[in-house]
Every structure is written in C-alpha cells, then in structure tokens.
Amino acid sequence: MLRVPRILLIDPLDNARKTLAERLHLQGFIVTECRDGAEGAVLALEDPPAAVIADLSMPSISGVQLCRLLKAEGGTAHVPVVLRGPEGRRNQFWSEQCGASAYVVKGRMGQLVRALRSAIERTEATSSGGDFFVQSSAEGLDVRDRIASHLDAALFDSVVAAELRRLGTSESFDRLIDLLSQFVSQVSTYRWLAVTRNRPARAAVHTNSACRDSSVGQMRAALGVANDVPIFLVEDDDAVSDLSGPDPIIEPIPFGEQVLGTFALAPCTEGHMHDHLLVKTIARELGAALRMASLVEESRLMATTDALTGLVNRRAFSDWALREQRRTQRYQDALSVILLDVDHFKHINDRFGHAAGDLVLGAVARLLMAGIRNCDVVARWGGEEFVLALPSTPLSGAREVAERARRALESANIVTDQGQQIPVTASFGVAQLDPHETLEQLVDRADRAMYVAKSSGRNRVECAPDATGAAA
C-alpha cells in the first residue's frame, strides 16, 4: 500500500490557506494546517511531515527562519521546505540561501505540486532503509525554547560576522590580531586565542601575562607552529590566567578555495557550544580580513624593501633615520652611520658575471645583518653601496662595528654556482651626528670618509671629522 504524503501547510491567511489545503487534498496529499510560523515549527519538530509549505512572510518567524531552524534540527533536517511569496529575484535568492527545496510564486498551483512531488521523491530516494520519518530530537524539551535558541544562534552568527568584517581595514597582521582579541574577549572567556598565517608564516597569541610561556607552548604544540615562526603577542588581563584547561578548539581559516591559516581558542570550561559556534564563525569570516591585511603588508613591504637583498631601501631608511635624528637631538643621545662600498664591484661583474654580482650583494646584506643589534638598521643605499644606522652609538662604537664588518667580508666564503671563489672587500666611512646637524649632512660626511678609505687603498675604515672639521 502506497504511503500518502502528509504536508504541513503554514499560511497566515485563513481563506487562502483553506483553499490551498483543499487543492492539495485533491492532488492526493494529507494536509495539516497552521497559520503561525512558530506553531508550524513546533508541529514539524514533534511529528516531521513529508514536506512543509510556508509563506516567506509570516507572524512570529519568517519562512527563511523556519527553514533554517528545521535544517538545523536532526529530526527535520531531511524535510523539504517549499516557500511561497511574491515574484522577485531577491525572494528566490534568500530561499536558496536558507536551504529551501523550492520557491514558488503564489497562485501557481501546478508549479507548487510539481515542486512538492519532486522534493518528496528526492528525499525518499536518499533516506536510508526506506524509513522516511526520523525520530524528532525535540522530545522532552520545550520546542519554543528550541526555536528561540536557534534564532538567537542565528543572530549571534550575524553579529559576529559583522564585527569580523570590520577588521578588513586593519592593514596589518598585528593590528588585526589586537582588534580581534578585543572583540572576542567581550563575547567569550578563554585562556588564550591564536591565529596563524601560512604565507608568509606568522603566528599571534592573546594571553594573560602570567601564563605567556605556557600559552605560547600550548599554541605551538596544538597548531604545529615551528620555533622559527615569528610570534606577535597581545598580553593583558582580558585573557584568563589559568595554566590548564580543555583542549583548544581549532578551525582552518578559508578564503575561497585556499586555507590562509588557523584560528584557535583555548576555553576555560569543557563543552560550551557557544565557544564552538564562535570559533567556527570567526574562522569562516576571518579569511577576508586576514587576506586584506596581508595584501596591505605586502604592498608596503614592496615599497620599502630592496628586492635583491631584502634590506630596507634608501627611501625607507631615510624616513626612519630622519625620525631617529630628531629623537637623538631632542634627548642629546648619540647616533652614528656607516656607509660602505664594495671594492672593485665592476670587476666582479666583468669577471664572474652579473649573477655573481647579485650573489655578492645578497651575501654582503646577510653579513651586515648578522653583525648588528635589533635597534640598528641596515639598508641598500644604491648600487653596491650600503648604509648602517646605529642609535645610541658614539663614533668609537660605530668604528668597531665597521671594523668587524670589514673583517667578516674579507674572510667571507662566497662561491659561484660553478664553484669559483669570489674575493670581497669593502671600504667604510663612519660619522657621528653632531648637534644641529641634518641627516643629509651626516650621511655626506660618512660618504666623504668612505671616499678617503677608497683612495687610501680600499678595504679599510675611515672616520669623518666632526661638523666643525676637527679630526676624529
């Protein structure tokens, strides 16, 4: 004996509902009528029908909200929903977005019946064991509370998504994480949160200062972050200072078909579904903001970095050095610069080729970077010239730095792809900033000292006289 499909019909207009119910009876359906969206959700959850017909606009909850609720519940996830309303592409779009099986313009009875039969046949074909009906998960619970809970979750999802989209203007990875931690700490309690970015590799952790090392260690272990990956730390009391707790909740951060990184939250208590929803929503929405911040950083890096050596370029160095010059003169501190030029660089290019010349410039850059402090700056000044700025360093200290760099270059083992050894030396000019001297005057004195080093036989360090002409 064939099973007669039972349809749940929800329409707030009594006359229209009864007319449609009679038409559906004639088409061979059993019809349960209802005028309110929330009431219809209760009926569907308590006894799932073969299909639901609902108006797009109804009292209490809309057809879109009803559809989302039924799809989220295990007992009704399989039940097809056909939404009805006025003609319009926007109505069709929202029906598709909420998971409705079809959207039918009111008054088109033939289209409605075809959509119903097609949806029911698809559901019966995919249901396991031929058992169409599934036990509802609403038993023992207040179904209206379940509806309210689902709608609250939908609202929570939309609010979190909106907040995450605002982070698209962060313009840097570090600022993005700072703003993200400020938001998440308002809606959740956690020991730490972390974001990793795959390219270029970065990681960030928001934690309480009291358990910073523990949080970073847990993050590295949970997310597989290598020890050489740089980590940006946000430390404040918004994160709880517990040293232990449940395993972190981890979600990949998608952007289109790519995975940009990972978002993780280490909760304070076990099994809070709010935290799982929060992590999923953040990971889903964070991709666009993370990508935008990375693009801005990349563009800034290209504008301030020398492509061949990876050092800051002349313009970026000048901008930084100008600020440092003002700070030095304001606080009566010391600032020295070293200007150096690779000796016989044209001969290196002529003998070994321009690829070897590029190899030498890259090696010089690495050697200079290896011999400085974190507060020092090395830049490519142009061609085969490099410049170093040493804050809080007098002339004597700068001369020692230059001499160490000279010896390192002289003994460097730079070899071409063909195994040819390239001898490299450089001539250095050193100068210390005098009171009331401009940055251009300081660099000019270092340049003249470097010229003295070259004219005196190369591979040597010369210090510039001070701005008054007195010998160093």
| pLDDT of residue 372 exceeding 80 | yes
Which residue, chain included where needed, has tokens 């007319």?
Answer: 19
pLDDT tens track for 313-371: 999 999 999 999 999 998 999 999 999 999 999 999 999 999 999 999 999 999 999 99
Domain 6-134 has CATH 3.40.50.10320: no
Q: How many CB atoms lie within 10 A of CB 421?
A: 10
**Arithmetic mean of pLDDT, 94-113:** 87
Tokens of 52: 């639901």
Burial 223-233 (b: 16+ CB within 10 A, else e): bebeeeeeebe
Q: Is the pLDDT of residue 468 over 70?
A: no
Domains 6-134 and 150-303 share a fold: no
pLDDT for the residue numbered 244:
86
Asked if residue 129 has pLDDT above 60, the reply is: no
pLDDT higher than 60, residue 142: no
Catalytically annotated residue among 384, 385, 403, 462: 384
Give the pLDDT score at 320: 92
| pLDDT tier for residue 155 given thresholds of 50, 70 and 90 | low
Whole-number average pLDDT of the chain: 88
- Give the model's pLDDT for residue 363: 96
Catalytic site includes residue 270: no
Q: Any residues with CB less than 8 A from the CB of 167 and at least 6 apart, and which?
A: 176, 179, 180, 286, 289
pLDDT at site 62 = 84
Q: Which tens digit of pLDDT belongs to each residue from 39-71? A: 888 888 888 999 999 998 887 788 888 888 888
pLDDT, one tens digit per residue, over 431-450 is 999 988 999 999 999 999 99
Determine the average pLDDT of the residues in 283-287.
93
Q: Which amino acid appears at position 389 of this protein?
A: A
Any idea which architecture 150-303 has in CATH?
2-Layer Sandwich (3.30)
The single residue listed with the structure tokens 């951060």 is 253
CATH number for the domain formed by residue range(s) 314-463: 3.30.70.270
Whether 134 shows a pLDDT value over 50: the answer reads no
Q: Domain segments of the chain: what residues?
A: 6-134, 150-303, 314-463
